[in-house]
Amino acid sequence: MSKLVTIDRHIMETQPPHATGEFSALLNDIAFAAKLIGREVNKAGLVDVLGFTGTTNVHGEEVRKLDEYADDIIFKALDHTGRLCVMASEEREEIIPIPAKFKCGHYVLMYDPLDGSSNIDANVSIGTIFSLYRKVSSAERGTLEDCLQPGLEQVAAGYIIYGSSTMLVFTTGNGVCGFTYDPSVGEFLLSHENIQTPKRGKIFSVNEGNSYRWDSGTKAYVNYVKQVDKGTNRPYSGRYIGSLVADFHRNLLYGGIFLYPGDLKNPNGKLRLVYEANPLAMIVEHAGGYASDGHRRILDIKPDGIHQLTPLIIGSLDDVKEAEDFIQGKR
Ligand code: AHG
Ligand code: MN
Ligand code: MN
């Protein structure tokens, strides 16, 4: 049997000697929340957590019961730990202060509590995405300034995918690893050590239903990957689940490119920089891939707001660079 490596053991074995153990504790806090969310997701069809709450979020999207449940679980699992100074969530318009009764810590957590919500009722894989920064403001408790750091300043990033199994994939800047949840012991165990994504894939993921609104460069790129050229694995296979975490995870392991481009109606696309693009960009770069908005490296972008939208082109390095050339009119 392979080594039984828990999150604790992995962090202990890979963190620098002076590490305070706060990271390991934070990742365990997130893993604890993931266990609770995964439990609800897995029995969603049996209990009354499917369907809508009747409310809409800051993005004008109808909030589903599981969105709200996941958001609440993450907040409650981490608000009292003394490790965070502020949080921000896709489901909440403003930043989330740590309640005054709890002490503040040195870290900032941004998260998408449930990604792929539109797929919940169809039993399709969905996920949670998270991003961790160090506190930079001089204020006693966390502020908006702490939540608007460029993605390059992330100290850790990860996601949980609730699929055929529940998997936690993260990086603390020292490679990308995957832990698969074993419900029989209630532990996440290391299953994918040092994930590296292929330099070039043969899968493209994009919602072609929006193609009538794309700019000419995006149209030219998607047509290009569908032309026959055995020298570059073309034509690529089209794969689109509609859950960013699921599409990203498949392409991370198999190689390929995911695009949610800007278009004539939504020049900045639909995905959010702070709690969707940045965490996945940190992961993909530490796995040898790349993430761009078509013109700039995602991790270099300074956010203006916690719900700021960005076009996202992410995945295998050669594929993303090739897409950038088309989008920038160089091909
Ligand atoms: P969320 O459920 O957190 O709002 O995210 C949904 C996103 C993302 O998961 C996915 O890639 C994208 O919406 C799909 O959008 P389209 O249905 O427009 O393709
Ligand atoms: Mn999302
Ligand atoms: Mn979401």
Residue-by-residue pLDDT tens, the chain, 331 positions:
567 899 988 888 887 666 678 888 999 999 999 999 999 888 766 665 566 667 777 777 776 788 899 999 999 999 999 999 999 999 999 999 999 999 999 999 999 999 998 888 888 999 999 999 999 999 999 999 999 999 999 999 999 999 999 999 999 998 999 999 999 999 999 999 999 999 999 999 999 999 999 999 999 999 999 999 988 889 999 999 999 999 999 999 999 999 999 999 999 999 999 999 999 999 999 999 999 999 999 999 999 999 999 999 999 999 999 999 999 999 9
CA 253 to ligand 3 center in whole angstroms: 22
Say yes or no: CB of residue 241 within 6 Å of ligand 1.
no
pLDDT at 57: 75
Name the H helices within the chain.
7-14, 22-42, 65-78, 144-147, 216-225, 244-254, 278-286, 317-327
Which atom of ligand 1 is closest in space to residue 260's alpha carbon?
11
pLDDT at 31: 96
Whole-prediction pTM? 0.95
Which atom of ligand 1 is closest in space to residue 243's alpha carbon?
9
Say yes or no: CB of residue 244 within 6 Å of ligand 1.
yes
Q: Taking the CB of residue 206, how many other CB atoms lie within 10 A of it?
A: 23
pLDDT at 198: 98
Please state which architecture CATH assigns to domain 7-192.
2-Layer Sandwich (3.30)
Bridge partner list, 189: 6, 180
pLDDT at 12: 82
CA 209 to ligand 1 center in whole angstroms: 13
Question: Using CA atoms, how far apart are residues 118 and 121, in angstroms rounded to an integer?
Answer: 7
**Which among 67, 115, 129, 280 is the best mutation to test ligand 1's pocket, defined by most ligand atoms within 8 Å of the CB?**
115
Residue 220: partners with Cβ closer than 8 Å, 6 or more residues away: 326, 331
pLDDT at 22: 84
Residue ranges of domains in the chain: 7-192, 203-327
pLDDT at 48: 59
pLDDT at 287: 98
Which atom of ligand 1 is closest in space to residue 118's alpha carbon?
2
Of the listed ligands, the closest to the CA of 244 is 1
Which atom of ligand 1 is closest in space to residue 59's alpha carbon?
4
Bridge partner list, 187: 182
Q: Whose CA is nearest to atom 11 of ligand 1?
A: 244
DSSP letter at 45 equals: T
Of the listed ligands, the closest to the CA of 91 is 3
Token pair belonging to 117: 């919500």
**Which among 260, 272, 280 is the best mutation to test ligand 1's pocket, defined by most ligand atoms within 8 Å of the CB?**
260
Question: Using CA atoms, how far apart are residues 231 and 225, in angstroms rounded to an integer?
Answer: 12
CA 90 to ligand 3 center in whole angstroms: 6
User: What single-letter amino acid sits at 161?
Assistant: I
pLDDT at 49: 57
Say yes or no: CB of residue 127 within 6 Å of ligand 1.
no
Say yes or no: CB of residue 57 within 6 Å of ligand 1.
no
Measured distance between the N- and C-terminal CA atoms of the chain, rounded to whole angstroms: 50
pLDDT at 145: 98
Fold entry, domain 203-327: D-Maltodextrin-Binding Protein; domain 2 (3.40.190)
CA 117 to ligand 1 center in whole angstroms: 7
CA 322 to ligand 1 center in whole angstroms: 24
CA 312 to ligand 3 center in whole angstroms: 16
Cβ < 5 A residues, ion ligand 2: 112, 115
Of the listed ligands, the closest to the CA of 71 is 3
